[in-house]
Structure 1
């Protein structure tokens, strides 16, 4: 066993921590974990494919875990079964054990917890080449996206949560001398102590499409504030969570803490366990990413816990006028193609006036804009190898079936077609489906259609586009809103709209930044102010609601 202590880990990582705290206050570009694969250990990069294959068709054992049943069923969207089994522990006994371990983790103190969390992240970063393959073959993301989003970008978001947690906790003094003057009488003097006390056992419910990026903020936010954490991954994306939990437990054990403070509870689609875990009265914090139906159920029923949800929404773009039509449609083509639209930030509704938009070359009609978008998308995906890399694979049967079901919802602008992956012939790969609909057909485009499905919506005017976007986002929520306009007045109206419906706004993106991308330490992912999410990744509120301050006082 190592002699390293939590306090020593804090000292080891303090310089990085200080830089992270600075970044959350400036919101400038900063990324501590490299997204360049060449920056990682060469042997780790070379061995990653074989290391992934070695995990397949075997039992994933986590030291100290005894299962009451074996969980299996993961299948790569690239066309093969992973064949991995996991132990599902006795859930009630686990929650009791984690609850009993909470005082130990609480008493480590803020510095010690920060040190442990940052050491876990350091080791996860070293594991990034392998993590890329586990994310690729559970989510269906293309390899480079799986590496970047599944490893360094997810770690960035985790460190962001740790930085916010440290910033909040260090602002609370441990002790204070309270001295109140009494005029001619002796002053009232008291000594006060302030204890940061975690709420209880935390539950993080992962999603299938971003099994680390969407899991890490809640995991590290709860852990750094003193709450033991149960990671309940999506049944089709267990492996990245299992690797994460294993690393966390190794670090905890090395510093003499109970590894059970971070635990994995896998389940299957046929026999889910999330409701039972969420309703356990000792579970006091819940993070969830997924459907609105289940997110709403958690908010309505797990009232004993603080519940943080990211749910469904209808992300929108308003097109008023453009300065470069080709640049705009190229940008949107990438947005609609990236990971086959299986992102909570991908645009679904594109509002365009019926009488067209202004460009430097003259008026472009509604139909001409729709066709330009289709042409740009087809051209972008014309090289099959590049297309497969960008599109990735369709994660679930439901998303795959939805593409076909949606074909009848509007006039075809661009039909979705299947592609064959050069390395994985059984991979489920589909290009975007783009449909034209009228603004009056609100029922068609105001429901989230998850996957590579989008609608170009004919509106009466830009003002009408804003009205419809406002209504849909107020009713259904959204995480992203985009606007294209050469008019300062229209851009200002869009700013007002974004504030009114509480959604992140992107203006005139026509280069290397895309509306569905979110950068840690600078972009707030979701606002928590509309139905798509009740929390933001990551802000102060995401952290401070995970602990309470208990004070004691006595006369001197």
Structure 2
């Protein structure tokens, strides 16, 4: 254990508290220790839940305007601490500064959306006299907060994906117990500092860091928790679903997103977007572009320009202003995908570019004509790797995209309006992006998938609906 590092504390009941044990947080890029992070024990998590119960009562007392103002102040403080937040991302999850700044901009925007949404949580009147026995009665609905929400978040967008859970939860008047990914706790602690300064009631946010096997099971099974919102792997998501009982559960579980390039007006612009979608943040994005299906008439030109464009990417230190791509979150992840590439190579699949690894850095990798059964196609890579296949017919392209256990988002490039609408109808995904890559997301849109990509929707308005309960009132006039 390193002793001269910045020693962090748990945030429970509005107080910063030390733990009995700590672990050294290592930079994914340099592998140097950057902080000491507390390991929460079961008793600590139970205390956090009890504090959240008090916090939930205080949140429910706040007016819509008061909740909105807290979220707006948090967004303002994030703006003041912008560069600090961006460099924190570069250190704890090796996100290049250009991408890190983009995440902080989206985080601020997400909290602003939440501040606005807090003011428009509506009910409706019910026309009771539409039923024979409803004459002489008046009814309306209202939305009420659930109480305590457990938020379990991933490493890849530790500010903005936390915002997608905290923002709507606070807008609706809930309290949250947040368990951030073990590799990215620093962003969660900064978020807690910001909400403390913004005037969030004590107990409304509690941050517990440590082992998922210790913290996760307590949060999922405790009866005081009314909802679990989780972003992560299919395996963990299935475990949560099995253990959660009657709790509400929202799961965002990833994908192997695909795009169809059928017909285009500007192939250079399409290539540029596809390179961005494939390799941004080293492919560690739930909607990272992993499969590209190009019409055979465009294929040769597309693959040539795609390789040349990829060669221009700058690889290196995430704290450098020019870096486009850096280390994966852990060397084991780079080794895993490297093995997938070697298996594909032995099976005769052509590695058109990349495929080599140095430590935790995997070169951006382009593979031609991958078989649908190979791991590089049918499993989620979560790495800077993409397959580029050709197809003959439109029906074939649709079938290739749908031949997946996942269904988060898909993209389609076409100059045909009828094909665009047909793609929306036929593609088995939660979102179809027409004339852009599936990696496109703005933070007010509904976001979520089908099949093994999860259940429920994020996007501030839609999360508020998930995080509230509908109550009916009926009056005899």
Q: Which runs of 5+ in 2 are unaligned?
A: 130-134
Structure 2 counterparts to residues 64-463 of structure 1, below 5 A: 64-79=15-30, 80-86=32-38, 88=40, 90-149=44-103, 151-169=104-122, 171=123, 196-252=143-199, 257=201, 259-268=202-211, 272-353=214-295, 356-358=296-298, 365=300, 369-381=302-314, 389-407=323-341, 408-409=343-344, 410-417=349-356, 428-439=360-371, 441=373, 444-463=376-395
Residue in 2 that maps onto 1:49: none
Residue in 1 that maps onto 2:132: none
Question: What is the CA–CA distance in structure 1 between the aligned matches of 2:431 and 2:102, rounded to whole Å?
Answer: 25
Q: State which of 432, 439, 453 in structure 2 corresponds to 1:504.
A: 432
* Partner SS for 1:399: helix
Residue in 2 that maps onto 1:476: 406
Question: What is the CA–CA distance in structure 1 between the aligned matches of 2:128 and 2:334, rounded to whole Å?
Answer: 68
Question: What is the CA–CA distance in structure 2 between the aligned matches of 1:251 and 1:387, rounded to whole Å?
Answer: 31
Query: Kindly tell me: are residues 384 and 85 of structure 1, through their superposed partners in 2, closer, same or farther at Cα, counting changes over 3 Å?
Result: closer
Question: What is the CA–CA distance in structure 2 between the aligned matches of 1:462 and 1:438, rounded to whole Å?
Answer: 19
Q: State which of 516, 536, 540 in structure 1 corresponds to 2:457.
A: 536
Aligned residues: 458
- Whether 2:405 is the aligned partner of 1:516: answer no
More deviation, 69-78/209-218: 69-78
Displacement after TM superposition at 1:539 (Å): 5.5
More deviation, 373-382/274-283: 373-382
Query: Kindly tell me: are residues 347 and 283 of structure 1, through their superposed partners in 2, closer, same or farther at Cα, counting changes over 3 Å?
Result: same
CA contact (8 A) 1:330 1:380 kept: no
Pairwise CA RMSD: 3.3
Per-residue deviation, residues 395-424 of structure 1 (Å, max 9, x unmatched): 1233211231121323211123457xxxxx
Question: What is the CA–CA distance in structure 2 between the aligned matches of 1:552 and 1:372, rounded to whole Å?
Answer: 62
**Normalised TM-score (structure 1):** 0.74
Q: Which runs of 5+ in 1 are unaligned?
A: 1-55, 181-186, 359-363, 420-426
CA contact (8 A) 2:158 2:187 kept: yes
Residue in 2 that maps onto 1:545: 466
Per-residue deviation, residues 371-403 of structure 1 (Å, max 9, x unmatched): 432222114459999896111331123321123
CA contact (8 A) 1:349 1:445 kept: yes
Query: Kindly tell me: are residues 413 and 189 of structure 1, through their superposed partners in 2, closer, same or farther at Cα, counting changes over 3 Å?
Result: closer
Query: Kindly tell me: are residues 462 and 273 of structure 1, through their superposed partners in 2, closer, same or farther at Cα, counting changes over 3 Å?
Result: same
CA contact (8 A) 1:319 1:357 kept: no
* Partner SS for 2:199: helix
* Partner SS for 1:344: coil
Question: What is the CA–CA distance in structure 1 between the aligned matches of 2:168 and 2:460, rounded to whole Å?
Answer: 10
Residue in 2 that maps onto 1:36: none
- Larger Rg over CA atoms: 1
CA contact (8 A) 2:252 2:448 kept: no
CA contact (8 A) 1:278 1:298 kept: yes
Displacement after TM superposition at 1:533 (Å): 3.3
Per-residue deviation, residues 181-230 of structure 1 (Å, max 9, x unmatched): xxxxxx9799x997753212111111111101111111121122121111
Query: Kindly tell me: are residues 381 and 494 of structure 1, through their superposed partners in 2, closer, same or farther at Cα, counting changes over 3 Å?
Result: farther
Question: What is the CA–CA distance in structure 1 between the aligned matches of 2:471 and 2:274, rounded to whole Å?
Answer: 51
Displacement after TM superposition at 1:284 (Å): 0.7
Question: What is the CA–CA distance in structure 2 between the aligned matches of 1:131 and 1:277, rounded to whole Å?
Answer: 27
* Partner SS for 2:288: coil
CA contact (8 A) 2:354 2:366 kept: yes
Question: What is the CA–CA distance in structure 2 between the aligned matches of 1:470 and 1:97, rounded to whole Å?
Answer: 45
* Partner SS for 1:215: helix
Question: What is the CA–CA distance in structure 2 between the aligned matches of 1:332 and 1:304, rounded to whole Å?
Answer: 41
Question: What is the CA–CA distance in structure 2 between the aligned matches of 1:551 and 1:440, rounded to whole Å?
Answer: 49
* Partner SS for 1:285: strand
